[in-house]
């Protein structure tokens, strides 16, 4: 097989930054790096499509008419619900997973979840439950970064915990 053919078969690689949202299908892998932020992945196992959000804060005071912003968990969930309706599916048909909400500050007690991270985790769990999704997996809390890769072709999610780097001033 030629290199050109291999490139053609390789999945599209899309990186989500904080506040980004993606929903679709096909040969796509979504990547993100999480600290105290939370990512929610949704995947429809029958139709083989889904999406991921990467939110920074649980919610904000949104003015009427202001567009939805994926930086906020409650609004990212509304973006998911719009896409689910557009695909004529229901929340209970999806596999839902949440990731992130880690302690990013070395000065904080190890094992203690910071307030923002904890609120992000709580919002993700509560919003999924309230909207009728079944949470089938989570990797939340703890210390340090996580790299997430979500394969829309088969619904698999890979998580790699990054070692926290401590710099000593000498």
87 token code pair: 């695909």
- What confidence score (pLDDT) does residue 144 get? 87
- What confidence score (pLDDT) does residue 143 get? 87
- Other beta carbons within 10 angstroms of residue 100's beta carbon come to 28
Considering only CA atoms, give the Rg of the chain.
17
Q: How confident is the model at residue 168 (pLDDT cuts 50, 70, 90)?
A: very low
Q: Which of 51-65, 67-81, 101-115 has the lowest mean pLDDT?
A: 101-115
Model confidence at 9: pLDDT above 90 = no
**Taking Cα atoms as reference points, which of 70, 54, 75 lies closest to residue 127?**
75
Distance linking the first and last C-alpha atoms of the chain:
53
CA-to-CA distance for 69 and 54, rounded, in angstroms?
A: 11
Mapping DSSP onto H, E and C, the string for 13-45 reads EEECCCCCEEEEECCEEEEEEECCCEEEEEEEC
Q: Which of 79-88, 110-119, 140-149 has the lowest mean pLDDT?
A: 110-119
- What confidence score (pLDDT) does residue 169 get? 46
CATH of domain 17-161: 3.30.1330.200
Q: How confident is the model at residue 88 (pLDDT cuts 50, 70, 90)?
A: very high
- What confidence score (pLDDT) does residue 36 get? 93
For the segment 13-38, the average pLDDT, to the nearest whole number, is 96
- What confidence score (pLDDT) does residue 79 get? 98
CB distance 41 to 23 below 8 Å: no
- What confidence score (pLDDT) does residue 109 get? 55
Tell me the whole-structure pTM to 2 decimals.
0.88
For the segment 134-156, the average pLDDT, to the nearest whole number, is 95
- Beta carbons within 8 Å of 5's beta carbon, 6+ residues apart: none
- Beta carbons within 8 Å of 82's beta carbon, 6+ residues apart: none
CA-to-CA distance for 34 and 11, rounded, in angstroms?
A: 22
Q: What average pLDDT is seen over the chain?
A: 89
For the segment 52-80, the average pLDDT, to the nearest whole number, is 95
- Residues forming a β-bridge with 25: 49
Model confidence at 10: pLDDT above 90 = no
CB distance 40 to 124 below 8 Å: yes
């Amino acid at each position: 097989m030629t290199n050109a053919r291999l490139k053609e078969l390789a999945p599209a690689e899309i990186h989500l930054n904080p506040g980004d949202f993606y929903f679709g299908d096909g040969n796509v892998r979504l990547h993100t790096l999480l600290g105290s932020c939370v990512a929610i992945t949704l995947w429809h196992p029958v139709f083989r499509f889904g999406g991921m959000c990467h939110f920074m804060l649980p919610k904000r005071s949104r003015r009427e008419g202001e567009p939805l912003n994926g930086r906020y968990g409650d609004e990212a969930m509304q973006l998911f619900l719009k896409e689910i309706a557009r695909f004529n599916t229901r929340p209970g048909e999806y596999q839902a997973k949440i990731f992130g909400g880690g302690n990013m500050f070395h000065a904080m007690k190890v094992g203690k979840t910071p307030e923002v991270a904890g609120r992000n985790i709580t919002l993700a769990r509560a919003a999924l439950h309230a909207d009728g999704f079944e949470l089938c997996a989570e990797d939340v809390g703890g210390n340090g970064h996580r790299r997430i890769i979500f394969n829309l072709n088969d619904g698999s999610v890979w998580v790699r915990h990054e070692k926290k780097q401590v710099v000593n001033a000498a």
